Chains A and B, each alone.
Chain A
Amino acid sequence: MNKAKLSLGPVLFNWKPETLRDFYFRMADEADLDTVHVGEVVCSKRTPFLEPFIPEIIERLTAAGKDVVLSSLALIMTDRELNAARELAGAADILVEANDISVAALMAGRPFVAGPLLNIYNEGTLATLEAMGAMRVCLPAELSADAIASLTAAAKVEIEVQAFGRLPLAISARCYAARARNLTKDGCQYVCADDPDGMAVETLDEVPFLAVNGTQTMSYHHMDLLGDVTNLAARGVGRFRLWPQTFDMAGVARLFRAVLDRKMAAPEAEAALARLCPGAEFANGYIHGRPGHLFVEPEFIE
């Protein structure tokens, strides 16, 4: 029996606050998740709109038995952003995920989650983060299953791997959602809200390639490790992260749980996932040591 846990990552997109609240309420009530992340990771300009809704979201999730983690911004540059990070780190009663090294430094000596946007590629860095108080480490998207296994073998704490959704690939000071509409970040008119799953980026041959979420660049393809999670769990991965998209995330979580619990075979779950995510293309290349956009048929352990 597999004990691997499921986390829902923070919503990376600019959803309307009410939509976000309803989404989290539904996750609280319907989704079979161990942990749910809340908080703005991509752009501090979005934060003021979300903040009033955070307490009731946390309350509802907690009441439903979910562990809640507050995720930090990924790129902290201004005093305002740094002050917000300090406030976040000062929150006494809730677990914080550091997505910028400054937040890990602010948390040092207390338990925190080391997020997937920190660069934790090897045992030396893992050990340093553990010594600082990381009680869980979510690994960067680029790592192969072999690298992940090397890290789980060395880890004293739980290792988490990104398993579903568009992958956050890059962060910038520049806003590409604004730039695509001939705006700048300062005068962005919050156009990133037009694309609740990110703005598709195609090559000049109209081949889907990337997705833009404000200052963040993501994969066009959705990470799908349904066929890999049992292997990875057997190699020591203790937790898988599902990134929220506008699809039925409770349904997505159900499929991952069913595969991890050996109640559903991976190919059957893959077919069900394709039905839950109409139009989505899937990839798992990184896990197999290949370019990230590729999908490699996994070899199943039975």
Chain B
Amino acid sequence: MMAATTPAALTRPELVCPAGTPAALKSAVDAGADCVYVGFRDETNARNFPGLNFSRKELGEGIAYAHSRGAKVLVAINTFPRAGQPQLWHQAVDDAARLKADAAILADIGLIDYAARTHPELRLHLSVQAAASNPDAIRFYAERFGIKRVVLPRVLTVQEIAAINARIAPVETEVFVFGGLCVMAEGRCALSSYATGQSPNMNGVCSPAGEVRYTETPQGITSELGGFTINKFTPNEPAGYPTLCKGRFIADDKASYLFEEPTSLNTLTILPDLIKAGVTAFKIEGRQRGRAYVAAVVQAFRQGIDAVMAGRPLPEIDLDRITEGGKQTTGAYEKAWR
């Protein structure tokens, strides 16, 4: 798989790691993250979960810690500002700039416009929530607002990613390599609000915990979201979290995981292909996950990237214990997934 390209021809990708708390930020940096991405403790980011995220003071301290060890901090402000009430989002951009974040990760066109006009020195990345899925879309954000890097939606194959990279230079791309997996084009899905009234775009949450209910019956456990049954488990099965698109539904007269099974993205086996595709940064999903997860995944991908760059075979690393339902997929990166 690797033999055709010499390591010298490849560019070493940055490893971009999640941190939901200051402790996770330190773990990620210590484990070898090149960048850590974080969010403020409010609706301005797409992991607006209770007990998670950073105050302004914590972000300032986190940035100091990361910078002292040669790592960068990216601030995700990637929900869509509420009509008539953009202040919370503008303040988040202002504070990211003031605290000298290495970049802000934005999704909303109006907010990107605000950031580009108000803080020309602030580096801007386009969030996956903007779902820029082709070179023309990417060039639009780059030419109009000076976006430097695009996080690609998880709808593209490795081949399509390589073709995009060949046409958008000097704009960089970042792709997800591990963790939770949206099966819809990100930022273009209102399933959560259809069931619960709260969505990733408007509220920074998908399938929110406050709308989840588990009911125990003699037949096992039923999981519900917003009053809709998302799955049923036999007494021996572990009852997973009812993420809407990972549920079991009836269509065409049969019950199945119609959209996707409970599974995690894991690209360790295709890392060489992603590096050859010219991707600048590899992103690990999971700001809501604990320090142990962050440390384990960062270490695994650190080893994987370093091996590819040194021309060594990929190390075999078992991440089963931290994947959803113990299942793994390479998702849309391989065409057969579609």
Residues of A within 8 A of B (CB): 74-79, 81-82, 85-86, 100-102, 104-106, 117, 119, 121-129, 140-143, 146-148, 150-151, 167, 169-176, 179-181, 184-186, 199-207, 209-210, 212, 217, 219, 285-286, 289-293
Contacts and interface: CB of A to CB of B under 8 A. Distances in A.
A133 to B, nearest CB: 13
A275 B228 CA distance: 27
Given A176-B258, A179-B258, A186-B338, A122 B81 contact: yes
A167 B190 CA distance: 10
B160 A181 contact: no
B80 A291 contact: no
Given A121-B81, A121-B202, A151-B83, A201 B188 contact: no
Interface of B: 80-84, 86, 107-111, 113-114, 130-137, 139-140, 144, 155-156, 160, 163, 183-185, 187-191, 193-197, 199, 201-202, 222, 226, 228-232, 248-252, 254-256, 258-260, 332, 335-338
A124 B250 contact: no
Given A77-B134, A209-B228, A292-B194, A202 B332 contact: no
Nearest to B252: A180
Nearest to B81: A122
B258 A180 contact: yes
Most chain B CB within a 10 A radius of its CB, from A77, A143, A181: A77
Given A117-B188, A180-B252, A209-B249, A293 B83 contact: no
A141 B228 contact: no
Contacts of B136: 76, 82, 85-86, 102, 105-106
Given A210-B191, A292-B194, A203 B249 contact: yes
Given A147-B84, A169-B190, A170-B189, A102 B184 contact: no
Given A75-B133, A125-B113, A142-B202, 7 more contacts: A75-B155, A174-B338, A176-B259, A186-B335, A199-B252, A201-B250, A202-B249
B253 to A, nearest CB: 10
Given A199-B252, A203-B229, A291-B197, A129 B109 contact: yes
Nearest to A194: B252
A205 B188 contact: no
Given A124-B110, A172-B184, A203-B250, A101 B132 contact: yes
Contact of B185 (A75, A146, A185): A75
Contact of B184 (A150, A170, A186, A292): A170
Given A102-B134, A176-B258, A219-B194, A124 B338 contact: no
Contacts of A186: 335-336, 338
Contacts of A142: 190, 193, 199, 201-202
15 contacts: A101-B132, A125-B108, A125-B113, A147-B82, A148-B83, A150-B84, A171-B185, A171-B189, A179-B258, A180-B256, A180-B258, A186-B336, A203-B250, A212-B258, A217-B189
A75 B137 CA distance: 11
Contacts, number: 217
A204 B190 contact: no
B81 A204 contact: no
Contacts of B130: 101, 119
A207 B228 contact: yes
A105 B134 CA distance: 12
Nearest to A289: B197
B185 A173 contact: yes
Nearest to A103: B136
A99 to B, nearest CB: 10
Given A76-B133, A151-B83, A105 B190 contact: no
B183 A127 contact: no
B83 A173 contact: no
Interface pairs A-B: 7 shortest CB-CB: A124-B110, A105-B140, A150-B84, A173-B155, A125-B110, A102-B136, A292-B194
Nearest to B198: A291
A202 B107 CA distance: 32
Most chain B CB within a 10 A radius of its CB, from A76, A102, A199, A219: A102
Most chain A CB within a 10 A radius of its CB, from B137, B222, B335: B137
Given A174-B332, A206-B250, A121 B108 contact: yes
Given A147-B84, A150-B83, A119 B187 contact: yes
A119 B196 contact: no
A19 to B, nearest CB: 21
B80 A122 contact: yes
B38 to A, nearest CB: 23
A185 B140 CA distance: 29
Most chain B CB within a 10 A radius of its CB, from A102, A170, A175, A200: A170
B338 A173 contact: yes
A127 B160 contact: no
Given A77-B160, A82-B136, A102-B140, A169 B82 contact: no
B251 A180 contact: yes
Given A102-B134, A122-B86, A171-B188, A292 B338 contact: no
Contacts of A119: 80, 107-109, 130, 187-188, 201
Given A77-B156, A102-B140, A180-B258, A124 B228 contact: no
A127 B160 CA distance: 32
